[in-house]
Chain A
């Protein structure tokens, strides 16, 4: 077996198709994009690239709106990790328990994920609607909490958290599925053994499920992080301008505007590169952090 594991021919044949496709359609365009970030280019073929060195980056980091967008997205990321992974896995564990209604539950929590962005946006617009007619506001009034009624997406204090809630709502279903997939691959005997040991409640989660599901947990965390750092759709549709006083501006939205609205393709590419480097850094850091704990082999 050890010999097979080092067999260059097998390694080559198995890796080749994926590597080739990936290089052509993703790596090469990204490298081109990084190259663009050192140039000025108005996005017209007739005008050649003009090399400007680090100018685009210098401009970016002296731009208050860009710095604000970095701050927003980091807050977005931290809250999302704390919300999405635990809720998703919590749902997964609960559903695993409730064998009877499993199909209904799974579909119920997974549906938001399947809905198109248009539908999601339309719906949450009605929920966050700024007047008393809004679904959330009218609900608060029914509960007698009139003082809480306000313009959810307009008020800079609430707008970002409102967007995070929408993201969470759409994606927890997926982490739930990952959790369930992880649980399915754990042999029943192991879970049985855990139960026989008399572990209950928090202890069971802490000493049985978390170590068992460590790999899926790790993956999900990375997915949340990388997903949030490039987030665009939700923000663009619910707060197209990036919110009152830039309270919900994120780098991908800025990048979109710079490249596709203002024709500053170099600056746009520079933002894309920053997003890329930032998420690489954060995810490698969190991988390192999570790798310290060994998962249980069974």
Chain B
């Protein structure tokens, strides 16, 4: 389906402008990388200058102090679990809320959406009260369920929106062909909602990745710490070691960016080939 289009001068001007805007936007990341190679005083003497020499040792410090290797893996496990639980159960609930009819449906929907309005700090004390009573601190399955609970509102908001726009005729055709509800859901609804699932998963992933409050309160076992807890270690007594903390930030961010870029292409290709409609 190739289409030839005449490109106007305006198009190219716009394109170049856009490239510039994008570069300005990437600059902060570049800035962080620069800072991660500088010394502390050097950062402050001029914010934007190039590092005088490459201090690789900042990275060594960051890796050791922040326990980055271990925490990276821990956070990955938590994030993967959360994406699975919130993605699957969220999609199931969204399907019902989008396509089924029953009494009180809109109330359930609103109840889920209402979760987006809750500041995390507001529920910390009640939550820790319950967790403490039940003795379920330092427990990853529980943490995954907790993260998932806070991911559901967004997941359900987005997925119901997507599923709403899937034509009902497609489902009906499958049912007439003799498919069960499981086949309809996994065979058609899930693939068709993939763009939504991916975009909400990206969002949820970032939430889990950067979340500091939950692990801080509910994880006391040092071996079970997360990336965000590791980054806290860079804040020293009376001054912050900016160079090491920037190195730590780069160590934890760059893999995510790389993964994101890779991930994105794979998914898009998958979508193209697997597209049912059209």
Footprint of B on A, CB under 8 Å? Answer: 1, 4-8, 10-11, 14-15, 17-19, 21-22, 24-30, 32-33, 36, 43, 94, 98, 101, 103-120, 122-123, 126, 129, 133-135, 169, 174, 177-178, 180-182, 184-185, 187-189, 192, 215-216, 218-219, 222-223, 226-227, 229-230, 232, 252, 255-256, 259-260, 265, 268-269, 272, 275-276, 279-280, 283-284, 295, 297-298
B7 → chain A closest CB, angstroms: 10
**Majority DSSP secondary structure for residues of B touching A:** helix
Tell me the total A-B contact number using a CB cutoff of 8 A.
Answer: 250
The 5 closest A-B pairs by CB, nearest first: A272-B122, A25-B149, A279-B117, A32-B126, A108-B22
Would A105 and B112 count as touching, CB distance under 8 A?
A: no
Q: Known contacts A30-B122, A184-B271; is A108 also within 8 Å of B25 by CB?
A: yes
- B63: chain A residues at CB < 8 Å are none
B57, CB-defined interface residue at 8 Å:
no
B24 → chain A closest CB, angstroms: 9
Would B278 and A94 count as touching, CB distance under 8 A?
A: no
Complex Cα gap A112–B185 (Å): 35
Complex Cα gap A126–B101 (Å): 54
B125, CB-defined interface residue at 8 Å:
yes
Would B149 and A4 count as touching, CB distance under 8 A?
A: no
Picked from B32, B113, B268, B277, the residue with its CB within 8 Å of the CB of A119 is B32
Picked from A6, A115, A189, A219, the residue with its CB within 8 Å of the CB of B253 is A115
B252 → chain A closest CB, angstroms: 7
- B119: chain A residues at CB < 8 Å are 230, 232, 252, 255, 272, 275
Q: Known contacts A185-B165, A187-B278; is A14 also within 8 Å of B93 by CB?
A: yes
12 more contacts with CB within 8 A, not counting A22-B149, A25-B150, A103-B261, are: A11-B96, A22-B111, A24-B149, A26-B123, A32-B126, A98-B15, A105-B18, A232-B119, A252-B121, A269-B122, A283-B113, A284-B110
Would A18 and B92 count as touching, CB distance under 8 A?
A: yes
Picked from B92, B121, B123, the residue with its CB within 8 Å of the CB of A14 is B92
B66 → chain A closest CB, angstroms: 12
The interface bits of chain B over 22-34 (1 if a CB of A lies within 8 angstroms of the residue's CB, else 0) are 1101101101100
Would B261 and A135 count as touching, CB distance under 8 A?
A: no
Complex Cα gap A179–B224 (Å): 37
Would A119 and B149 count as touching, CB distance under 8 A?
A: no
Would B172 and A215 count as touching, CB distance under 8 A?
A: no
Complex Cα gap A222–B278 (Å): 30
Residue of A at shortest CB range from B173?
A1
Complex Cα gap A295–B3 (Å): 27
- B114: chain A residues at CB < 8 Å are 276, 280
Would A215 and B161 count as touching, CB distance under 8 A?
A: yes
Would A187 and B277 count as touching, CB distance under 8 A?
A: yes
B240 → chain A closest CB, angstroms: 9
Q: Known contacts A5-B99, A26-B150, A117-B210; is A17 also within 8 Å of B161 by CB?
A: no
Complex Cα gap A276–B195 (Å): 30
Would B206 and A98 count as touching, CB distance under 8 A?
A: no
CB under 8 Å from chain A, chain B span 129-170: 129-130, 145-146, 148-150, 152, 154, 156-158, 161-162, 164-165, 167-168
Residue of B at shortest CB range from A27?
B111
- A276: chain B residues at CB < 8 Å are 114, 117-118, 122
B202, CB-defined interface residue at 8 Å:
yes
B123 → chain A closest CB, angstroms: 4
Would B122 and A15 count as touching, CB distance under 8 A?
A: no
